[in-house]
Copies of this chain bind each other. A is one copy, B any other.
Amino acid sequence: MTDRKLQTYIQSLEKIDTSELYGKDFLLTWEKGAQELEAVFHTADILKIMHAGGIPAQIFKSGMAVSIFRDKSTRTRFSFAGAANLLGLQVQDLDEEKSQIAHGETVRETAVMISFLTEVIGIRDDMFIGEGNRYMREVAAAVEDAYNQGILHRRPSLVNLQCDLDHPTQSMADLLHLRHFEGSPEKLAGKKVAMSWAYSPSYGKPLSVPQGIITLFTRYGMDVVLAHPPGYNLLEDTLRTAEKHADLSGGSFRVTTNMKDAFEDADIVYPKSWAPFSVMEKRTELLGAGDKDGLKKLETRCLEENRRYIDWHCDDDLMALTKGGKALYMHCLPADISGVSCQQGEVSSSVFEKYRNQTYLEAGNKPFIIAAMMLLSKVKDPAAVLSDLVKKAL
């Protein structure tokens, strides 16, 4: 059974040209072609079935997977560690004292110093607009150059574990969940998705999740509606990308400031808080200047601003507006659940409770998506390598 399923998946993977992933970084989904994404989804599914069946997937005998978290993280840290371990790599954390903006020689040097025996680098840096992705590219350029100069034996590949622009391991784990939930990838076209802002008493949540969702989901013919209060807009570039993707895929993309409008007849809803764009920009500026008082004031102002939209709350009434009252609720977790993890938050406990297992299943894709990205960047012929592993085990 496992064997048959695996053979089918591996045969499909065999038909996909993965050469554009080999030796490359995975930084933004919109830099990758449709077949590259397809290869990631397939490989993640294969690795998941292998893990469920107890089939070892260690393509490495040794080597390190370095993680750089410039922001606290439990989930992503464990997903990355699990993925690395699955493939035979040893995680080594580079713990930076605190979130900081560093460039130039410091970044270049550190990047090389941590890479002598390193196969993969995972970076999470989502706190500053205009910084996270730029930092990743500096690290990538440094290891690329060091490899070309003969300083590094191998060129570690980067996986974006969340930046200011995109959160590819999250959005792809989400989409993989949808593919399974709907039964097949083909069934996604025509589905209405409400990617909506929701109220949260917390402050400064990054924009990368909604940006990741609107840019990725629009590629699959879905009708994506982005809803948020005035001032909570996303980065202009990601809106343009979502529009372009919708055009190309036969889907649609539009923005509304009305949560109900977005939920109406939706097949999928993704209500989630994020910070106002202007706050994120201001914060980057204040942090750069080390202005602690300014940051404190900004936080107060932001929380007050949030409170104006406390009714952006995913409850049973809102869910009743969705297609048959039965839209799939999605979330990247942890959700701010009213009366559970906070007084008033993004979602009512009644709604969350109904979909809790679905959100857990959704999250369960992430280690395998990360492992797939790692594997495809380090292995020239993934179908053959995976096929060998399966044969050896069965």
Docked complex Cα distance between A71 and B83 (Å): 28
* A153 and B116 form a contact (CB under 8 A): no
A235 within 8 A of B: no
**With known contacts A62-B85, A90-B85, A151-B361, A113–B78 Cβ distance under 8 A:** yes
Q: What's the least CB distance linking A389 to chain B, in Å?
A: 11
**With known contacts A52-B153, A114-B74, A367-B117, A63–B85 Cβ distance under 8 A:** yes
* B364 and A116 form a contact (CB under 8 A): yes
What total of chain A residues lie within 8 Å of the partner, measured CB to CB? Answer: 54
A183 within 8 A of B: no
Residues of B within 8 A of A153 (CB): 51-52
Map CB proximity to B onto A348-378 as digits: 1 under 8 Å, 0 otherwise: 0000100001001101101100000000000
Q: Which of B56, B117, B340 contacts A85 (CB under 8 A)?
A: B117
User: How many copies of the shown chain assemble into the complex?
Assistant: 3
A142 nearest in chain B by CB position: B360
* B367 and A116 form a contact (CB under 8 A): yes
Residues of B within 8 A of A357 (CB): 146, 149, 151
Of A62, A91, A94, A146, the most chain B CB neighbours within 10 A belong to A62
Docked complex Cα distance between A153 and B360 (Å): 13
* A64 and B82 form a contact (CB under 8 A): yes
Residues of B within 8 A of A58 (CB): 61-62
A229 within 8 A of B: no
A8 within 8 A of B: no
* B113 and A74 form a contact (CB under 8 A): yes
Residues of B within 8 A of A83 (CB): 117
Q: Which of B57, B62, B78, B85 contacts A57 (CB under 8 A)?
A: B62
A390 within 8 A of B: no
Of A92, A152, A367, the most chain B CB neighbours within 10 A belong to A92
Docked complex Cα distance between A363 and B363 (Å): 39
Q: What's the least CB distance linking A73 to chain B, in Å?
A: 11
Docked complex Cα distance between A361 and B110 (Å): 14
* B81 and A113 form a contact (CB under 8 A): no
Q: Which of B92, B94, B334, B366 contacts A109 (CB under 8 A)?
A: B334
Docked complex Cα distance between A363 and B117 (Å): 12
Q: Which of B61, B104, B361 contacts A56 (CB under 8 A)?
A: B61
A75 within 8 A of B: yes
A279 within 8 A of B: no
- State the A residues within 8 Å of B (CB): 51-52, 56-58, 61-64, 66, 74-75, 78-79, 81-83, 85-86, 88, 90-92, 94, 104-106, 109-110, 112-114, 116-118, 146, 149-153, 333-334, 337, 340-341, 352, 357, 360-361, 363-364, 366-367
- Given A62-B86, A78-B113, 15 additional A-B pairs, CB 8 A: A58-B61, A64-B81, A66-B78, A74-B113, A81-B90, A85-B90, A90-B90, A105-B340, A105-B341, A112-B360, A116-B366, A117-B367, A150-B361, A151-B357, A151-B360
Q: Which 8 A-B pairs have the closest CB atoms?
A: A82-B117, A56-B61, A52-B153, A85-B90, A151-B360, A105-B340, A81-B92, A78-B114
**22 contacting pairs across A/B (C-beta < 8 A):** A52-B153, A56-B61, A62-B85, A62-B86, A64-B82, A78-B92, A79-B116, A81-B92, A82-B116, A82-B117, A83-B117, A104-B340, A105-B337, A105-B341, A112-B363, A116-B363, A116-B366, A116-B367, A117-B367, A146-B357, A149-B357, A150-B361
